């Protein structure tokens, strides 16, 4: 605790300094000033750790939030003078100031003001209902955000605060503990006697403002009708907090109690009991999970939903609770909002009222520069290949046989499977190495002054509890045997030699590379000598506890009960670990789950988040295939964030965003049920760019694609050779040929002859051709610009007589059975069909978005070229002086040189034709149907959680 106080007060003294002037020497001087004021804090102070923490805090910038909203029925109300006596917020702010940088606290204040302001004033009379969604990053601090929102809402006058906190006891208990600390200010227990003050209660424990609680932090602390019957709730009382599991029985209890003990009026038409005097704030944590109505909905010819439709249980009960209050606010929090966006905005039933579509607002939370997400771990697609990610990924392939049907953990195994492998440890070498890596990480963290921090390892390989139990037993036996060898120093030589090799071959070079390539994330720490690590390894192994996470509150309680001495836990689990539950200090992950659903994978990514002072020690052991999918996720998430920012700049609404998400070819990968479609995906390509980054290595297919390209070029004629376009004060030049006003049937015919690889998730030639035909029916995508882009560093190839193309050099990423590359085309190529005014308008739009959040760009320099989403927006919607051209599509054709592809691609193959199609943004919303039955879906994407 002394360190935390020293850091907090030293941070206060440094706030007036220019960030560039804050050095370790200055921090040390300010620490001396604090210690002169409070000498008792010298005892137990780790000065180096305190200086490191303060350097980190003052080097972090915060990415800005963005939001889109609808003001229909809303009255602006939140002004500065309203916040003058907000004690819940003030004490929470002071509480988090001890843990966060001043910039992060200010960002939290702004963010929660923005969200609360888009809700309704709880003192406003008459009926009102606001529904919004807050989208954060996985493991990025969403709980801290809604805790701040709850504090402010309580200050403003919201009286009933309900938090829906996951499906399992452990997550509900963990959330309750966080809110005990950040809002209530005391530990909640079944018997409300001698409540121990914690968190904000130690800052301002005035009983006059102490909130009331109904649920508590114990395993059986969920809502209980027995206790609730003894409570009397009146409007003048302090706010009441309910932390509820998403469970049908619990929600039925809560609804019944509200209607029988809290309601004060009745609907004259329906007789439904109503609460009119107590405004409600309902926070839905992991709002895309269980809350979405997955029942089959029926619509009439006018698109109106069936009023007699019976929603699924959790959705129905959540809506009925909201519908019981005449004044209510609903805020969903999630990192994967796609299921929520699929909700029909007009869904409404008599009993439940409106569905949970976020009609009022969607907020996209910014992340600090210290956040480690998919883009930081897996990189992003770029024209020259994938940008490098943090060097944390380690490939796993020894868990199953080559065909995936046998081995220690086959890709598809049944409940009761017994993992077996012919090794002394009983574990695959990759898992044994992952455990070693975790133990080494724990040792280094201790040597870096982080001995009091929690450290965790995640082993997530199966959804079956029986198989988890077998793995838990094997891992526990392995760690126990290692502990015996090291503590007794008998038979320990082989294990120590193995760990030293890992140290020399992996840990030392990885730490150097992380510090060199990612200095903002990987604070440079000198790695200790092996002798220092060796000395403390026995104690590290002895302190390591292997747990099976089975959904009880105890899993969450242990972290809170061991604040002074950090826990070291190896957690073996499945679905219980996949949503919301925070594994404190997660260092090492061993992850074999095979679902390809976007939201499922993201939620399983417990390794995303913050790793201050130890990111270079973290490791992710998973399969190449899953690494590939997380790469797709990183690209798609960044794309969608760009689209969201564009909508903010142009004044879009939540419904506009919903249409954009639904149209995305990769992000459609979520549960079929959540998409309200039993067998089909409905895809649109409007406003998208589709490019082939997964290509064939089959000679016949490649020759066929080359022949199709040559036939198209022959039909189009001479075209414009080496086009030049005026761009601002200069000109841009391209090598190759360009044809304008090409009729759509030529593009459709070409796509019919061109074959796309099945792993090219966003480019399916058959679907693209069908989409263009559908758009032609509404007079869009009728006139195309086609360009063959040359000027590459590969050999030249005569595509048609007299037309030679310098082929592009693109390295293959070595994916089995295909020629896989990074980005194919650049935004510069997408501007080929824009005139100067359109190009300038797209650049202006790009820069306006950038100015809202310049921290997202690593170099901090204003963009000099338009972004892809802005190009497609301007092409479709036009400029202030000219209309858009939704009839105009762009087809870009490239020839890749197989001799330059590298391993896995034969040098004597025909030129590899790669294509990119850039579609203008359009409001028509035409879609094509991608048919897939349940068996195929499960085989391709895995089951829904």
pLDDT tens string 89-139:
999 999 998 777 787 888 899 999 999 999 999 999 999 999 999 988 766
**Alpha-carbon gap, residue 78 to 541, rounded angstroms:** 53
Residue 299 has pLDDT above 60, yes or no: no
Which range, of 440-454, 798-812, 817-831, 894-908, averages the lowest pLDDT? 817-831
Range in 110-124, 138-152, 242-256 the model is least confident about = 138-152
Structure tokens at 608: 């995303």
Are residue 425 and residue 545 in the same domain, yes or no? yes
Give the CA count within 13 Å in the CB-facing half-sphere of 262: 27
For residue 663, what pLDDT is reported? 42
Q: How are beta strands 568-573 and 455-460 bridged, if at all?
A: parallel
Domain final position from 338, 364, 390: 364
Question: Which tops the pLDDT comparison, 629 or 68?
Answer: 68
**Averaging pLDDT over each range in 256-265, 309-318, 436-445, 807-816, which range is the top one?**
436-445
Nearest to 102 by CA among 16, 203, 30, 2: 16
Phi, psi of 687 (to 5 degrees): 75, 10
Q: Write down the pLDDT at residue 136.
A: 80
Alpha-carbon distance of 40 to 5, in angstroms, equals 11
Average per-residue pLDDT for the chain: 82
Mean pLDDT across the stretch 793-803? 90
Q: Which two structure tokens, joined as six digits, stand for 321?
A: 């609770």
Q: How many CB atoms lie within 10 A of CB 863?
A: 16
**Per-residue pLDDT band at 252 (split at 50, 70, 90):** very high
Is residue 472 within 8 A of residue 569, CB to CB? The reply is no
For residue 813, the model assigns a pLDDT of: 74
**Residue 384 covered by a domain:** no
Per cent of the chain over pLDDT 90 is 39
pLDDT of 360 higher than 60: yes
Are 52 and 92 found together in one domain?
A: no
In a domain, 288, yes or no: yes
Write out the E strands in 672-827: 680-683, 689-691, 694-695, 720-721, 724-727, 730-733, 736-743, 783-789, 796-800, 803-806, 819-820
Residue 876 clears pLDDT 80, i.e. is over it: yes
Domain membership of residue 646 (yes or no) is no
Q: Considering only CA atoms, which of 473, 441, 691 is closest in space to residue 586?
A: 441
Burial of 519 (0-12, 13-18, 19+ CB in 10 A): exposed
Which SS3 state, helix, strand or coil, does residue 212 take?
strand
Check: CB of residue 831 under 8 Å from CB of residue 819: no
Residue 915 confidence class, pLDDT cut points 50, 70, 90: very high
Query: Residue 680 pLDDT more than 60?
Result: no
Whether the pLDDT of residue 651 is over 80: the answer is no
Q: What is the CA radius of gyration of the chain?
A: 29
- Which one of 365-379, 707-721, 814-828 scores highest in mean pLDDT? 707-721
Write down the H helix ranges in 310-388: 313-324, 338-341, 374-378
Listed range (647-661, 702-716, 772-786) with the worst mean pLDDT? 647-661
- Range name among 200-209, 562-571, 864-873 with the lowest pLDDT average: 562-571
CB contact set of 936 (below 8 Å; sequence gap of 6+) = none
In a domain, 675, yes or no: no
pLDDT at 700: 95
Same domain, residue pair 568 and 605: yes
Contact (CB, 8 A) for 712 and 704: no
The structure tokens 């201790």 sit at 446
Q: Are residues 37 and 102 in the same domain?
A: no
Tokens describing residue 910: 């025909």
Q: Where are the beta strands (DSSP E) in 383-535?
A: 385-386, 393-395, 455-460
Q: How far apart are CA 82 and CA 80, in angstroms?
A: 5
Instruction: Characterize 85-105 residue by residue with b for buried, 16 or more Cβ atoms within 10 angstroms of its Cβ, and e for exposed.
Output: ebbbbbbbbebbbeebbebbb
Q: Are residues 91 and 52 in the same domain?
A: no
Q: Which domain holds residue 443?
A: 398-622
- DSSP alpha helix (H) spans, 248-371: 248-257, 313-324, 338-341
pLDDT value for 342: 53
Under the banding of pLDDT at 50, 70 and 90, the label for residue 594 is low
Residues 158, 39 share a domain: no
- Is residue 483 domain-shared with residue 614, that is, in the same domain? yes
pLDDT band with cut points at 50, 70 and 90 for residue 557? very low
Residues 99 and 42 reside in one and the same domain: no
Task: Give mean pLDDT, residues 611-620.
Answer: 89
Question: Is 945 a domain residue?
Answer: no
pLDDT band with cut points at 50, 70 and 90 for residue 676: very low
- Residue 663, domain member (yes or no): no
Highest mean pLDDT (candidates 65-74, 556-565, 640-649, 678-687): 65-74
Q: What is the mean pLDDT of residues 8-27?
A: 73
564 band by pLDDT with thresholds 50, 70 and 90: low
Stated as kind and residue range, the H or E segment containing 47 is helix 47-57
Question: Quick one: pLDDT band at residue 20, thresholds 50, 70, 90?
Answer: low
Alpha-carbon distance of 157 to 88, in angstroms, equals 11
Same domain as 575, residue 450: yes
Strands 680-683 and 66-69 turn out to be: unpaired
User: Are both 340 and 427 inside the same structural domain?
Assistant: no
Same domain, 11 and 108: no
Read off the tokens for 94. 């002071």
* Predicted structure pTM score: 0.72
- CA-based angle 650:651:654, to the nearest 5? 120
Buried b / exposed e along 560-581 (16+ C-beta atoms within 10 A):
beeeeebbbbbbbbbbbbbbbb
pLDDT digit string, tens, across residues 489-544? 888 899 999 999 999 999 999 999 998 888 877 765 679 999 999 999 999 999 99
The larger pLDDT score, comparing residue 665 to residue 194, is at 194
- Which of 17-26, 356-365, 492-501, 723-732 shows the lowest per-residue confidence on average (mean pLDDT)? 17-26
- Using DSSP bridges, classify how beta strands 912-918 and 888-896 pair: parallel, antiparallel or unpaired: antiparallel
Tokens of 322: 């909201």
What confidence score (pLDDT) does residue 679 get?
A: 39
Task: With respect to residue 70, please indicate whether it lies within any of the assigned structural domains.
Answer: no
Let me know if residue 389 belongs to a domain. no
What torsion do the CA atoms of 800, 802, 806, 812 make, to the nearest 10 degrees?
Answer: 20
Where is 240: in which H helix or E strand? strand 240-244
CA pair distance 316, 314, nearest whole angstrom? 5
Q: Which pLDDT band holds residue 545 (cuts at 50, 70, 90)?
A: very high
- What are the residues whose beta carbons fall under 8 Å from the beta carbon of 882, sequence distance 6 or more? 837, 838
Among candidates 580, 576, 589, 568, which has minimal Cα distance to 549? Answer: 576
In total, how many domains does the chain have? 4
pLDDT at 1: 46
Helix (H, G, I), strand (E, B) or coil at 511: helix
For residue 5, pLDDT beyond 50: yes
Tokens of 22: 């804050």
Choose the final residue of a domain: 348, 364, 380: 364
Q: Does residue 92 sit in the same domain as residue 52?
A: no
**pLDDT for 30 beyond 80:** yes
Bridge partners of residue 132, in order along the sequence: 331, 361
Q: How many residues does the chain have?
A: 945
Provide the CATH number for the domain around residue 311.
Answer: 3.40.50.300
What is the per-residue pLDDT across 577-586, written as a single tens digit (0 to 9) for each? Answer: 555 466 788 8
The rounded distance, in Å, linking the Cα atoms of 820 and 666 is 17
Residue 696 phi/psi, 5-degree rounding, is -75, 155
Lowest mean pLDDT: which of 259-268, 406-415, 475-484, 624-633? 624-633
Per-residue pLDDT at 132: 92
């Amino acid at each position: 605790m002394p360190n935390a106080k020293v850091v907090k007060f030293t941070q206060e003294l440094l706030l007036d300094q220019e960030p560039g002037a804050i050095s370790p020497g200055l921090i040390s001087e300010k620490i001396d000033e604090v210690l002169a004021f409070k000498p008792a804090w010298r005892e137990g102070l780790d000065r180096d750790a305190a200086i490191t923490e303060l350097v980190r805090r003052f080097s972090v910038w915060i990415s800005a939030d963005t939001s889109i909203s609808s003001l229909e029925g809303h009255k602006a109300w939140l002004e500065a003078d309203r916040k003058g006596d907000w004690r819940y917020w003030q004490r929470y702010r002071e509480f988090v100031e001890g843990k966060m940088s001043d910039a992060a606290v200010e960002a939290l204040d702004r963010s929660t003001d923005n969200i609360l302001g888009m809700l309704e004033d709880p003192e406003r009379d008459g009926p009102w209902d606001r529904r919004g969604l807050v989208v954060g990053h996985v493991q990025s601090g969403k709980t801290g955000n809604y805790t701040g929102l709850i504090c402010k809402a309580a200050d403003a006058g919201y009286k009933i605060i309900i938090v829906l906190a996951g499906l399992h006891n452990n997550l509900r208990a963990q959330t309750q503990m966080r809110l005990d600390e950040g809002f209530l200010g005391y530990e909640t227990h079944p018997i409300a006697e001698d409540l121990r003050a914690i968190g904000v209660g130690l800052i301002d424990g005035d009983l006059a403002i102490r909130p009331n609680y109904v649920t508590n932090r114990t395993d059986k602390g969920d809502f209980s009708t027995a206790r609730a019957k003894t409570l009397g709730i009146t409007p003048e009382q302090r706010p009441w907090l309910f932390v509820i599991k998403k469970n049908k029985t619990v929600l039925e209890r809560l609804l019944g109690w509200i209607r029988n003990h809290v309601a004060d009026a009745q609907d004259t038409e329906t007789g439904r009991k109503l609460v009119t005097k107590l405004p409600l704030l309902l926070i839905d944590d992991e709002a895309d999970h269980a809350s979405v109505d997955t029942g089959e909905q029926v619509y009439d010819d006018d698109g109106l939903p069936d009023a007699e439709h019976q929603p699924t249980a959790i959705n129905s009960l959540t809506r009925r609770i909201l519908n019981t209050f005449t004044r209510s606010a609903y805020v969903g929090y999630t990192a994967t909002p796609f299921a929520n966006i699929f909700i029909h905005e007009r869904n409404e039933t008599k009993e439940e009222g409106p569905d949970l579509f976020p009609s009022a607002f969607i907020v996209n939370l910014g992340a600090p520069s210290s956040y480690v997400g998919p883009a930081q771990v897996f990189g992003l697609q770029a024209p020259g290949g994938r940008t490098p990610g943090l060097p944390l990924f380690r490939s796993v392939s020894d868990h199953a046989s080559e065909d995936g049907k046998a081995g220690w953990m086959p890709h598809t195994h049944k409940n009761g499977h017994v993992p077996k492998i012919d090794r002394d440890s009983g574990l695959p070498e990759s898992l044994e190495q992952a455990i070693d890596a975790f133990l080494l990480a724990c040792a280094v963290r201790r040597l870096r002054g982080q001995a009091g921090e929690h450290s965790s390892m995640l082993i997530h390989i199966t959804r079956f509890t029986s198989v988890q139990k077998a793995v838990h037993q094997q891992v526990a036996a392995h760690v126990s045997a290692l502990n015996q060898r090291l503590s007794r120093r008998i038979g320990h030589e082989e294990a120590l030699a193995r760990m030293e090799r890992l140290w020399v071959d992996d840990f030392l070079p990885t730490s150097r590379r992380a510090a060199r390539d990612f200095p903002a994330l990987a604070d440079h720490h000198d790695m200790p000598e092996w002798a220092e690590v060796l000395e403390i390894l026995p104690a590290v192994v002895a302190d390591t506890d292997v747990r099976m996470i089975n959904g009880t509150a105890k899993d969450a309680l242990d972290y809170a009960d061991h604040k002074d001495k950090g826990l070291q836990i190896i957690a073996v689990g499945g679905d219980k670990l996949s949503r919301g539950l925070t594994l404190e200090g997660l260092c090492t992950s061993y992850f074999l789950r095979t679902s390809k659903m976007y939201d499922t994978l993201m939620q399983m990514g417990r390794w995303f988040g913050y790793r201050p002072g130890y990111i270079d020690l973290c490791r992710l052991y998973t399969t190449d295939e899953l690494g590939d999918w997380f790469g797709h996720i990183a690209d798609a998430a960044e794309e969608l964030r760009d689209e969201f920012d564009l909508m903010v700049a142009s004044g879009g609404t939540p419904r506009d965003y919903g249409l954009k998400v639904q149209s995305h070819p990769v992000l459609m990968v979520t549960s079929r049920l959540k998409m309200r479609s039993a067998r089909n995906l409905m895809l649109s390509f409007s406003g998208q760019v589709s490019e082939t980054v997964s290509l064939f290595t089959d000679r016949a297919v490649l020759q066929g694609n080359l022949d199709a390209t040559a036939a198209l070029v022959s039909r189009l004629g001479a075209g414009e050779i080496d086009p030049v376009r005026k761009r601002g004060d200069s000109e841009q030049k391209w090598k190759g040929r360009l044809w304008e006003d090409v009729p759509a049937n030529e593009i459709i015919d070409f796509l019919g002859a061109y074959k796309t690889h099945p792993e090219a998730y966003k480019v399916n030639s058959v679907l693209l051709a069908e989409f263009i035909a559908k758009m032609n029916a509404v007079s869009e995508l009728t006139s195309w610009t086609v360009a063959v882009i040359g000027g590459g560093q590969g050999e030249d190839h005569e595509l048609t007589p007299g037309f030679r193309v310098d082929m592009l050099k693109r390295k293959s990423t070595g994916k089995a059975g295909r020629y896989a590359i990074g980005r194919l085309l650049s935004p510069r190529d997408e501007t080929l069909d824009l005139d100067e005014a359109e190009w300038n308008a797209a650049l202006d739009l790009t820069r306006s978005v950038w100015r809202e959040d310049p921290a997202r760009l690593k170099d901090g320099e204003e963009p000099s070229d338009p972004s892809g989403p802005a190009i497609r927006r301007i092409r479709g919607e036009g400029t202030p002086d000219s209309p858009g051209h939704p009839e105009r599509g762009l087809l870009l054709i490239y020839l890749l040189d197989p001799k330059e592809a590298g391993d896995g691609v034969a040098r004597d193959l025909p030129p590899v034709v790669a294509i990119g199609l850039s579609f203008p943004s359009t409001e028509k919303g035409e879609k094509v149907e991608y048919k897939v039955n349940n068996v195929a879906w499960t085989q391709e994407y895995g089951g829904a959680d």
